[in-house]
Structure 1
């Protein structure tokens, strides 16, 4: 189903139990900056956090049969100032769209101390959550769960560092193969350039806001990812009769449109989208099995044509669809307006289906935003619509790794132009040019080869373990292993 949240500043989040520091850190240890790290993760969102948890569990002697000789040198780099997950879309009352069992650990290792149930137990809410009788926690609670997990890794996480590029390190004297990579980052405050050396690099930077072409840069035209954090600052009078438009027909657009009714009770809101109607997401049990961890291998082993067909067929689980109960709530609101006044032009909240936005503009700083539209496959409307703010919910682009890896292109195998990843998410590089102990892994940008779950939360727990196994295949090796992390001291 639509797992937009199946995967900044969070000062707005004030959980009753508080985000107190953890009672103990993870079993990973901080290292000096001048060492060669065994792994550096670029980005510290849910994907990298799941890897950190899998590493921690691999070290935990109570989970790995008593082995204690696995001590990798690891660091996480994150552009934001603190851990945050979709902070701009923590709409009050919104719930998760996946079971809490699909947390960051349970499906890989139910005994892990990083499961959602462990979090609830730590917060003294386990029995109270049980009394709710749901598998779907509030979104704000699940975000707090992930922040609780992330707090265990603060000692090896550097926030406020934006990675700019990955540079191949010098080659070895004997074989001429690259032994490590240099990760170049910039401090977001001081602009200081920093660098780390790492044998393994994981790029998990998430998606960047996708805005339709031709949309001007304007503080009152914002992507849905900034809705909760940005819009209230721009429209500060909650009781003012604002005119607000939401562009998009998926879950985020519907949630925002519905939330605006209560957030700005005197405002006039308009939902604009191309489709003929809001369509429900398909979360039926058999269909939902495409998000099972084993579904990744099944999808990966398909031909290119089979993959394309499946993505098209399964689109209704995640893209441009809305949970049925939200559709019904919005329909009820629209219907009650129809009861009170049959003239749609006078309604406070309107929906414009089969409508395409062709242009936005604002002639003067104090003027309203003019939105030019046209009927789908029809003529452009004569008069533009006027709004005080526009929220654009048109998804994300997942191509940030392209620029980061520009200087690694010479290491690609002959005949390969794109960044192809194998089943374990490891980027295909020329084995003659790169040491087997060095490599790059991509997260969240492999939908075409690994399926619709690639950018979602559903498989993160298992995928984190898969990447640990791929990056450290001999993690329980004997003392004669040539991997530097074996028997490494804290």
Structure 2
């Protein structure tokens, strides 16, 4: 104990405990010479609770767990979880290898409970670089108010992304606006509204629309679904296109000039902004069933619509100013509650401010991330800062995918240990991405 609180020395301090840093802790737990600690501000692990619909399914199969794709015999695999819960046989008979979202969260909590390196109720306040000690110093506060100083040569940032609400909706009062991440928390507001409008598509927008259509069939509110995309487009999960989400493609993507990377991210939006075919079929089935009923509130679906502004009218309803993208026509859309299905954005945490000038950035202000997921730092800084799910611009659209998490974490651990602690896949795609004669 010191006057500044408890001090600890570690090889790695990982900040944030979502699936990615939890997977890092899981892989590190079987590496004897890596001392890693994970700090998480929240008192427990929760995962997408605001979208935890009862029938919500994962979009990746169970092999995309915390460890299996690089360590299939690891004791914290999803199969080990099923065995421990005595559900392995029934899971096999189920013949659906896509766990429910609720089951996946339960798996994450099971794994976290078996990892002493994961510390909840630990809020990181500042990070500093100590040039003399060649260590980062992490200042944190524990839930009981105790101040801690932890030092490590390596940091891993896995703080996740933040819900994004575009400026066009920002003028609406909180009572009339919610993000999909809070949808189930705001169930009373949804039930009380006469009309609910979903703005934006993607999987979250479609799942909310399914829920609203179900409510509508039972006499619930009117429903509108507006999206700027050219259609209610499906996720492109055909097998050969999925090769663009492999480690092989990620390495190739990283080798490209930044201009080419940015162009490809825009072109490949259906890999991460589309809608599962099962959810689209559920939407259509509910719309079909409405035809057999009478007296239901209206339902409206429109794609190719940009919301340009929002305001509150004289009678207290939300009015969206919209543009029809094909014709350029402007129109007003009146509703009681807006659900923003507008995705998430990376965020720069306040605790990094003392070391912000050490992080090198590209022309658009984004961190310059090496192929091993470490950020390029100013000359003379011998420590390393790794990022998880903050490198779409450098590694491609697969960066947020759960099925890349184990490979990324193995890459990070290999970089930290300076050896092949975990064997990485040498050939993960049948497609050749490079020009002939060029290697990435």
TM-score (ref. length: structure 1): 0.76
SS in 2 for 1:96: coil
The within-5 A match list for 1:295-314 is 295-314=249-268
SS in 2 for 1:455: coil
What residue is the counterpart of 1:137 in the other structure?
99
Shift of 1:355: 2.4
Post-superposition Cα deviations, 1:221-243, rounded to whole Å, max 9, x if no partner, equal 11111112x212435xx5x6732
What residue is the counterpart of 1:324 in the other structure?
277
2: CA distance between counterparts of 1:232 and 1:415?
Answer: 42
Q: Does 1:184 align with 2:139?
A: yes
2: CA distance between counterparts of 1:80 and 1:220?
Answer: 27
**Is the 1:334–1:350 contact (alpha carbons within 8 Å) kept by the matching residues of 2?**
no
Post-superposition Cα deviations, 1:52-79, rounded to whole Å, max 9, x if no partner, equal 01101323xxxxxxxxxx2x33221112
Shift of 1:447: 0.8
Q: Does 1:471 align with 2:416?
A: yes
2: CA distance between counterparts of 1:233 and 1:386?
Answer: 16
2: CA distance between counterparts of 1:355 and 1:430?
Answer: 44
What residue is the counterpart of 1:28 in the other structure?
none
What residue is the counterpart of 2:269 in the other structure?
315
SS in 2 for 1:452: coil
2: CA distance between counterparts of 1:158 and 1:193?
Answer: 14
1: CA distance between counterparts of 2:271 and 2:338?
Answer: 26
2: CA distance between counterparts of 1:159 and 1:234?
Answer: 31
Gaps spanning 5+ residues in structure 2: where?
422-440
Shift of 1:302: 2.5
What residue is the counterpart of 2:287 in the other structure?
334
What residue is the counterpart of 1:443 in the other structure?
388
Q: Does 1:275 align with 2:209?
A: no
Tell me: CA distance 1:189–1:218, structure 2 relative to 1, closer, same or farther (3 Å). farther
Tell me: CA distance 1:40–1:103, structure 2 relative to 1, closer, same or farther (3 Å). same
What residue is the counterpart of 1:225 in the other structure?
181
What residue is the counterpart of 1:50 in the other structure?
23
Shift of 1:187: 5.7
Q: Does 1:434 align with 2:393?
A: no
Structure with the largest fraction of strand: 2
Cα-Cα RMSD: 2.8
What residue is the counterpart of 1:75 in the other structure?
37
1: CA distance between counterparts of 2:361 and 2:189?
Answer: 51
Post-superposition Cα deviations, 1:128-179, rounded to whole Å, max 9, x if no partner, equal 01111112111111111111111112x333323333432112425xxxxxx1
2: CA distance between counterparts of 1:131 and 1:406?
Answer: 52
Q: Does 1:168 align with 2:139?
A: no
**Is the 1:77–1:163 contact (alpha carbons within 8 Å) kept by the matching residues of 2?**
yes
Q: Does 1:258 align with 2:210?
A: yes
What residue is the counterpart of 2:426 in the other structure?
none
Tell me: CA distance 1:283–1:412, structure 2 relative to 1, closer, same or farther (3 Å). closer
2: CA distance between counterparts of 1:385 and 1:87?
Answer: 29
Shift of 1:340: 5.8
- Equivalent residue for 1:159, pick from 106, 116, 120: 120
Tell me: CA distance 1:379–1:309, structure 2 relative to 1, closer, same or farther (3 Å). closer
Post-superposition Cα deviations, 1:442-468, rounded to whole Å, max 9, x if no partner, equal 111111111111112011112111111
**Is the 2:247–2:404 contact (alpha carbons within 8 Å) kept by the matching residues of 1?**
yes
What residue is the counterpart of 2:86 in the other structure?
124
Post-superposition Cα deviations, 1:28-85, rounded to whole Å, max 9, x if no partner, equal xxxx9312222111101011011101101323xxxxxxxxxx2x33221112221111
